[in-house]
Amino acid sequence: MRQHHQEPAPVGEGAVPGRPAAPDRETGPRAERADGTGGAPVPRPRRAPAASALTWLTPALLVVGLGLWGVSLPLVDFRSMDDFGLLDRLPVPFYASLVVLTAGFLVALRRAGTSPGWPLVYCVALLVALKAAPAVLYDSVRYPWASKHDAVVNTILGAGELRPGAALSGNMSAYDQWPGFFTLNAALVRAFGVESTAVYLNWAPIVLGLILLPVLVLLYRTFTEDWRLVWTAVWIFQLANWVGQDYLAPQGLAYVLHLTVLAVVLRHFVRPGSAGRLRDRTALDPAAASVPPATTTRQRAVGVLILSPLILAVNAVHQLTPVMLCVVLAALCLTRRYRNLGLLAVAGLIMLAWDLTMGRPLFMETLGTLKESLGRLTQNSRAGYAGQLTGPGPELAGKAGIAMALAVVLCAGIAVLARRRLTRGALPLLLASAAPVPLFAVNDYGGEMLFRVYLFGLPGAAFFAAAALVPAAGGARRSRGAVVRRRAAAVALPAVLLALTAGFLPAYYGKDAMYYTPPAESALVTRAIDRLPEGGLLLATSGSFPQALHRYDEVEHWFFAEQELPENERMLADPARYLADRIPPGTTAHVVLTRTQDIYTAGEGLLPPGGFTALRDRLKESPLFRTVEEHPYGIVLAYTPSTTTPGGAS
């Protein structure tokens, strides 16, 4: 009988997802019977040439990609970053490594159903290649504001207690009101015997990313049996996660906990009789997974009890994430499949109980501001203080971020419309991703709501974007439509992945000139704050520089340029008088102006071009301020009021 040769399933089409293809066979020597007279021909397995090539090509590309990445790191001159941050300091081998890793991932994706381990290895390699460079290279903390969290941990260790009701400078008491993340890190500092979290702070994106990988896989496998779709969604999620919320901060940990709760709910809280035709394979997209088995009321009640400590942990770690969790659980109630009002009630009660006890001061303050922010969609969706990035690097970073968000949403929209049977099965994931959007109407969250809504909507958006690029497997029979989809995917998938990679780099690294601070600058700031007596006042243009909140429980802080640009322009007309009139009489005050502040205020549009230099020079020339210490990376000025100067009595 004539035998057919079956090649490995391509990205666009192949065998049934999750099942190995039947092995190719050829006629072998006749098997001998027990009596030695021989017998019928026995089929003998033979590996197809294409499959054999994929077997060695997958690890080879991984080794080459990681090798190029490792070779590139010593060539990165990060200390001389300027307009484009780290982007134009990364050498050609670094960019080549990402291209090679993408090619290797696409090769591994062709056999994802039979070898799902290789796409996992490639996703880990991508995480390292994208985000580990600062951890390996930088000799100081990336993201100056991350040192604020290090200061909180040090303060908790020094005080030995939490002070949620204390009136601390810069509203820092909020960190004692949601202390879960900081007490955990205080315990880690003690357990590891290190000086502070600064020792491992830059590695947080890698650690959190590794923890998040199995959670994403569990989430996506709830809605699809196609491993190609699962790993492509994970890959897109990593490329599109450029918002920088995975550093050592409460949001990163709370995000992992939030998605963990969501994954458990989607897999184990299905109501009996709610799936309907979604349990019938003929009604499903070929790649879709059947609805998970239904659970009884008693099982769901036990599930609520099991999830309650996890929900409590979310509330102990972060202010906004519990709101996101409740909004998502409410959205899931719109489907009969996950209509669990008991779980929503428990999550809401835990959040309310925390807000009215530990978090009461900030909660009441936030309620007081809702009247001003409620319904102001344009204002609440702005990014940062001024909302106008300036300079080549920040402008490119902003445009790249917007372009990537639009690209992911566009691809996801195509899948929602074109693969309606998959959308029907994965409707809960779609609702969970869209649920945070209405929060734009509530508050701006300090100019961060835009990024948080994007972050919480990203898992579902990545899944549907992947569904647009990885058509369902067509089985052995190939229709004309299946062939067209396969050929389109063969072009679209690598093109989109490379485009997202190209967008991630400026969005994530385009502003690193304001994210990296030389250790000498940090030392200058530390010395300046240590000179201040308890109750003294530190003035700076913004809080985005390392050690800005050093001794925040003993020293007051005023970041005077964190306001709208018109007010800052009025301040620049006579900065010495502007500051002197607002310093409380009898207060020992120091002004610290550093290189990082200069870059940040210019890049974020807080000061006009040349404004920082004018500010520094005018303060130096004023008799109201005396230079204490000056270096190329910063200057410290002491406020020296005259007894005859109005508003400046000592």
> Is there a contact between 568 and 561 (Cβ–Cβ < 8 Å)?
yes
pLDDT reported for residue 649: 38
pLDDT at residue 194 greater than cutoff 50: yes
Question: Quick one: which H or E segment has residue 559?
Answer: strand 556-559
pLDDT at residue 534 greater than cutoff 50: yes
203-235 pLDDT, tens digit each? 999 999 999 999 999 999 999 999 999 999 999
573-630 pLDDT, tens digit each? 999 999 999 999 999 999 999 999 999 898 888 999 899 999 999 999 999 999 999 9
Query: Residue 276, SS3?
Result: helix
Per-residue CA distances from 635 to 92, 333, 359, 441, 540 (Å) = 37, 57, 37, 42, 11
> Is there a contact between 1 and 477 (Cβ–Cβ < 8 Å)?
no
288-316 pLDDT, tens digit each? 888 899 999 999 999 999 999 999 999 99
> Any idea what the Cα angle at residue 294 is, between residues 288 and 297, rounded to 5°?
150
* β-bridge mates for residue 639, sequence order: 625
pLDDT at residue 511 greater than cutoff 50: yes
Contacts of residue 356, Cβ cutoff 8 Å, sequence gap at least 6: 363
Rounded to the nearest 10 degrees, the angle between the axes of helix 250-268 and helix 321-332 is 20
1-26: average pLDDT: 41
pLDDT-derived band at 465, boundaries 50, 70, 90: very high
418-437 pLDDT, tens digit each? 999 999 999 999 999 999 99
**CA dihedral for 311, 317, 319, 324, sign (positive or negative):** negative
Closest CA to 210 of 129, 104, 127: 127
Dihedral over alpha carbons 552, 554, 560, 561 (to 10 degrees):
-20
